[in-house]
């Protein structure tokens, strides 16, 4: 087992704070990899090298010149699975520090074992995440028997029927550490939420999460997803949009199931209440993904022609509420905290700017498509 410098330094610092003595940690070659004396890091501790090479249980050094690069103190081997992987040393007079020696040795081994187990768990999670991503992104891989066997070795059986769900935190995310920490906390909550369900899976995918839940009825699936969204809302003060595929999938069919769930997700995002949406209830979002990006931008610019960027942003938010209320001036004005006359004035002004009346059937269709494109552009695709 390799001892990382970061882990070694953390152990040395913690132990030194406890016993109030200088502590050094050496690797399997006797090289000091962590020390309360920074000048000693990178030097060879000959005493520890001899300790490890000769498989000694303890090495007491009585003077600073007894071994090159070593100082008066006591040194113990650090063991893992019966092998010497390094040495821990305490600098000072033996009579003063001898009571700490074996305790420090055991504490070092416990801390290293804990770090090792955490790393193994992290690696296992990484392997499982990579496998699931390959599964849902590459349907051809799922047709290979070797791929199926690899999944079984990771505790994942892709032959089982599951329901695909995509979840998206409805908060602006950037590349800052704080945003990543929020995503990590949400992922942890999602894993806890599905931990009692056999064969349920969850992985991050950019700023979204792919959840593959058991082959439940629509009613139970919806109830579970709503419960998960409520838990995230309570624990992290963050709303989740949710897209649900309408039928179970397995093996190579999971790729298309996730695509359908993603289209349902964008329908959830663009809806006024941000409620979970099944794919069967999706309309415009079915084909928005298929429109080339340059054509999307051209279309949106044409619909909102003569609007400044600030005006466009304002009208987009207004139209979301207006169409979410099925064109009801009364309901929309209440949700927007506007007088009815003010809302009608704004809609008429938009009509004058763009030449498209948002209160007509044709105008509504044109604006709704533009809104769907803008929502997809804002939240991005997991592909």
What is the maximal distance between C-alpha atoms in the chain? 94
User: What 3-state DSSP class applies to 203?
Assistant: strand
Full 3-state SS string of the chain: CCCCHHHHHHHHHHHHHHHCCEEEEECCCCEEEEECCHHHCCCECHHHHHHHHCCCCCEEECCCCCCCCCCCEEEEEEEECCEEEEEEEEECCHHHHHHHHHHHHHHHHHHHHHHHHHHHHHHHHHHHHHHHHHHHHCCCHHHCHHHHHHHHHCCCCCCCCEEEEEEEECCCCCCCHHHHHHHHHHHHHHHHHHCCCCCCEEEEECCEEEEEEECCCHHHHHHHHHHHHHHHHHHHCCCEEEEECCCCECHHHHHHHHHHHHHHHHHHHHCCCCCCEEHHHCCCHHHHCCCCHHHHHHHHHHHCCCCCHHHHHHHHHHHHHHHHCCCCHHHHHHHHCCCHHHHHHHHHHHHHHHCCCCCCHHHHHHHHHHHHHHHHHHHCCCC
Q: Please report the pLDDT score of residue 272 as a whole number.
A: 62
Q: What is the pLDDT of residue 291?
A: 85
Which of these, 148, 224, 233, 157, lies nearest to 189 by C-alpha position? Answer: 233
Confidence at residue 354, expressed as pLDDT on a 0 to 100 scale: 96
User: CA-CA distances (angstroms) from residue 268 to 44, 135, 170, 281, 324?
Assistant: 62, 25, 11, 10, 12
Beta-ladder partners of 49: none
Taking the mean position of all CA atoms in its chain, how far away is CA 60?
48
Instruction: Give, as one character, the DSSP assignment of residue 375.
Output: H
Q: Show the DSSP H helices in 271-328 as ranges.
A: 285-288, 293-303, 309-324
Residue 380 pLDDT: 61
Residue 151 near residue 131 (C-beta atoms within 8 A):
yes
> Which of the residues in the chain have pLDDT under 70?
1, 271-273, 379-383
pLDDT tens-digit profile of 291-348?
Answer: 888 999 999 999 999 999 999 999 999 999 999 888 999 999 999 999 999 999 999 9
- 178 HSE (CA, 13 A, CB side): 5
pTM of the model: 0.69
User: For residue 78, what are the β-bridge partners?
Assistant: 86
pLDDT at 7: 86
């Amino acid at each position: 087992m390799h001892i990382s410098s970061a882990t070694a330094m953390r152990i040395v610092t913690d132990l030194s704070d406890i016993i109030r003595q200088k502590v050094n940690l050496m690797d399997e070659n006797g090289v000091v990899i962590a020390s309360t004396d920074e000048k000693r890091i990178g030097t060879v501790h000959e005493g520890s090298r001899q300790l490890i090479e000769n498989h000694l249980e303890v090495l007491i050094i009585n003077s600073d010149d007894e071994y090159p690069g070593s100082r008066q103190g006591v040194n113990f081997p650090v063991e893992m699975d019966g092998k010497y992987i390094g040495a821990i040393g305490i600098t000072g007079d033996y009579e003063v520090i001898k009571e700490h020696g074996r305790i420090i040795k055991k504490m070092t081994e416990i801390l290293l074992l804990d770090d090792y187990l955490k790393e193994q768990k992290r690696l296992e999670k990484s392997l499982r995440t990579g496998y699931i991503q390959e599964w849902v992104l590459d349907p051809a891989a799922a047709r290979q028997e070797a791929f199926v066997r690899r999944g079984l070795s990771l505790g994942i059986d892709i032959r089982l029927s599951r329901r695909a769900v995509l979840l998206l935190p409805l908060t602006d995310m950037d590349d800052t550490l704080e945003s990543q920490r929020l995503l990590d906390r949400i992922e942890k909550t999602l894993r806890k939420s599905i931990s009692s369900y056999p064969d349920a899976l969850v992985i991050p995918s950019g700023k979204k999460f792919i959840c593959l839940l058991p082959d439940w009825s629509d009613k139970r699936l919806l109830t579970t997803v709503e419960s998960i969204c409520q838990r995230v809302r309570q624990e992290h003060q963050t709303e989740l949009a949710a897209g649900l595929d309408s039928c179970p999938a397995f093996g190579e069919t999971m790729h298309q199931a996730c695509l359908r769930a993603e289209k349902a997700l964008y329908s959830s995002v663009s809806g006024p209440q941000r409620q979970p949406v099944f794919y069967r209830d999706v309309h415009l979002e079915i084909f928005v993904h298929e429109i080339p990006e340059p054509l999307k931008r051209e279309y949106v610019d044409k619909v909102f022609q003569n609007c400044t960027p600030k005006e466009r942003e304002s009208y987009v938010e207004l139209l979301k509420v207006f169409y979410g209320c099925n064109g009801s001036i009364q309901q929309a004005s209440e949700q927007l905290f506007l007088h009815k006359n003010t809302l009608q004035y704004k809609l008429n002004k938009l009509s004058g700017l763009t030449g498209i009346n948002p209160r007509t059937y044709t105008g509504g269709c044109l604006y709704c498509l533009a809104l769907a494109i803008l929502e997809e552009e804002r939240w991005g695709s997991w592909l």
